[in-house]
Amino acid sequence: MKTTLFLIVLVFLTAAAGAASARRAGDIDTSFGDNGRIVFLPENSTGGGGRRTLPAPDGKIYIFGSTGFSGNRGRGTIIRLDENGEFDPSFAGNGVLLAELPDLQQSSFYSGIFQPDGKIITVGGGTFGNWVYALVCRFYQDGTLDKSFGTNGYTLFSTGYANYNYLIGAALQSDGKIVVGGSIDQRIAAVRFTADGHLDTTFGTNGYRKIESQFTGDGYDMKVAPDDAIFIGGTLGLVGGNANYADFGIAKLTPDGDFDPSFNETGIKQIDVTPDTDYDAEILQSIEFLPEGKLLLLGRVGATTLDAVVMKLMPDGKFDTAFADNGIKFVDYLGLNNNPVDMEIQADGKIVIASLAQTADFITQRLLPDGEFDLEFGTGGSVLTDMGGRDVPVSVTLWNGKILVTGSALGTNGKRRHFGLVRLHGADVESGPLRGRLINLLGRGIPDGSVSITREGAGSAVTVSTDPQGNFELPDAVHGARYTLRASAPRCWFQEETVSVDFPQTDPVRIKANCFRTIK
């Protein structure tokens, strides 16, 4: 005969036990991916790398880039991760989309945006025969190509020149039209498409606007301001395309693609920060908006040694002389080559810069709003991250108090280039272990229980198991955060599905459950 005994199970939680520790701004967020990093390459590929990371409104993280395959069959690539850095199998089957686009031999995705309905717009470049086209695609949220967009899900664009056609940025104007920017015919340019992917010929001249001058140029950034004005920037070279000498170039366009004369009188500004330097290729990499219509620009300068330079402009294009040294701040790193690639502005006005170090590592640097190094960030304002080989950052993204730096990792000593992403803390955080124990009514620990723990506002849950005495621990709980706990154990029914606790918490938290034990 079998008798069933009825027991009540308690969860006894001590959230404040254990010493607190401090995580400083610039420290690697070890709760993300593999100890703070994602280093990944699709199977059977010859190499790959990320260009930009974009968090979605639902907390998913998208990495845009490209993956190579033998026979020059490059594929535009989108990787979707959960908030904790795990690949999301609900996207493209395994979290990795390798775009198969009809009529294109190769494709690359440089960036992306989300439309209000959640569809994903990607921009980059594609090749067909000897032609290189600017490329715009649209995908559904599951990674399926949206064939109602453009022609069969994508649009190719050029103005009759075979090379130097690629797009590096995209944005939506207030009416839903898609503005993209990059290089068209080796000129800094912007192009506009309708919301369904067709060229909008009411924009500029026949749908596009290039910086037409005696200078060749390449576009490196494009941003749309809150009033729908468009800024495009990059590098302007000398006649003949002398790669050893170039200046910064930036233009302001009206919402419909005309040059805006309120900016530097012509709508175009060319900047030579070091006019007395020979063989100095100055490249404008990033444009960011500041309050009151001001602009912050990031660029690369230097002949024998490369450095970052940050420039602050007034709305009319003149330098803001109150910033740094008459509007210009040179950002060095230990006297070594420091090749900047991207910049973001925090809500508090601090400036985050991603660069390639001479040591072939990621550098992340942070400046105060006045241009001085933020000495509370990393070491003297700089953080060096080794991703495992020759590491090349391409962009930086701020999200939910974190800093995400994206590019490629490895790629040397016979190793193939991989996608590389690191997540850093954007602010000082005090933390400590959140500990607890599952016990039955007799005070005995439950060795085969588990607790799912979710931090409010931070997304994915972390599940921890109990040890033989029923103890469990979340080692890095954040002070001031609220956590939701869901306990489970075999043959137990918990009367309260979840329990919330503000960390640190000194009072014990009990969760009652009905548990059954079978006795012969």
The structural domains of the chain, with segments of one domain joined by +, span 3-23+430-519
Model pLDDT, residue 480: 86
Positive or negative: CA dihedral 252, 256, 258, 262: negative
Secondary structure E strands in 194-345:
208-210, 217-224, 230-237, 246-253, 268-271, 283-289, 295-301, 307-313, 328-331, 338-345
Binned at pLDDT 50, 70 and 90, residue 240 comes out as: low
pLDDT in tens, 9-50: 555 655 544 566 778 999 999 889 999 999 999 999 999 999
Residue 105: pLDDT over 80? yes
3-state secondary structure of 164: coil
- The span from the CA of 360 to the CA of 405, in Å, is 14
DSSP 8-state assignment for residue 187: S
251 is written with which tokens? 């233009």
- The span from the CA of 168 to the CA of 97, in Å, is 19
What dihedral do alpha carbons 140, 142, 144, 146 form, nearest 10°? -10
CA contacts within 13 A on the Cβ side of 130: 3
Q: What's the maximum distance between 2 C-alpha atoms anywhere in the chain?
A: 98
Q: What are phi and psi of 292, to 5 degrees?
A: 65, 25
Model pLDDT, residue 259: 97
CB contact at 8 A, 66 and 441: no
pLDDT in tens, 367-426: 999 999 999 999 999 999 999 889 999 999 999 899 999 999 987 767 799 999 999 999
Length of the chain: 520
Residue 314: pLDDT over 60? yes
Model pLDDT, residue 411: 79
- Distance set, CA 272 to CA 264, 275, 300 (Å): 15, 6, 11
Model pLDDT, residue 460: 67
Model pLDDT, residue 439: 79
CB contact at 8 A, 302 and 296: no
Model pLDDT, residue 66: 97
- What number is the average pLDDT over the span 254-276? 94
- The span from the CA of 218 to the CA of 238, in Å, is 12
Q: Which helix (H) or strand (E) holds 396?
A: strand 392-399
Contacts of 73 (CB under 8 A, 6+ apart): 105, 106
Of 68-72, 121-125, 215-219, 366-370, the poorest mean pLDDT is in: 215-219
Range ranked top by mean pLDDT from 237-251, 256-270, 403-417, 466-480:
256-270
Q: Fold for 3-23+430-519, please state it.
A: Immunoglobulin-like (2.60.40)
502 is written with which tokens? 């503000």
Model pLDDT, residue 14: 59
Residue 6: pLDDT over 80? no
- The span from the CA of 19 to the CA of 365, in Å, is 30
Binned at pLDDT 50, 70 and 90, residue 184 comes out as: very high
87 is written with which tokens? 């690949």
Residue 145: pLDDT over 80? yes
- What number is the average pLDDT over the span 240-251? 77
Residue 475: pLDDT over 90? no
Model pLDDT, residue 517: 63
- The span from the CA of 481 to the CA of 477, in Å, is 8
DSSP 8-state assignment for residue 369: T
Supply the pTM of this predicted model. 0.85
Taking all residues of the chain, what is their mean pLDDT, rounded to a whole number? 89
- The span from the CA of 431 to the CA of 18, in Å, is 10
Model pLDDT, residue 442: 73
Chain centre distance of CA 469: 42
CB contact at 8 A, 474 and 84: no
Binned at pLDDT 50, 70 and 90, residue 494 comes out as: confident
Model pLDDT, residue 425: 95
Binned at pLDDT 50, 70 and 90, residue 278 comes out as: low
Binned at pLDDT 50, 70 and 90, residue 331 comes out as: very high
Of residues 260 and 437, more confidently modeled = 260
Binned at pLDDT 50, 70 and 90, residue 3 comes out as: very low
Model pLDDT, residue 103: 80
CA contacts within 13 A on the Cβ side of 324: 19
- What number is the average pLDDT over the span 478-495? 87
Residue 498: pLDDT over 50? yes
Of 118-127, 265-274, 299-308, 336-345, the poorest mean pLDDT is in: 299-308
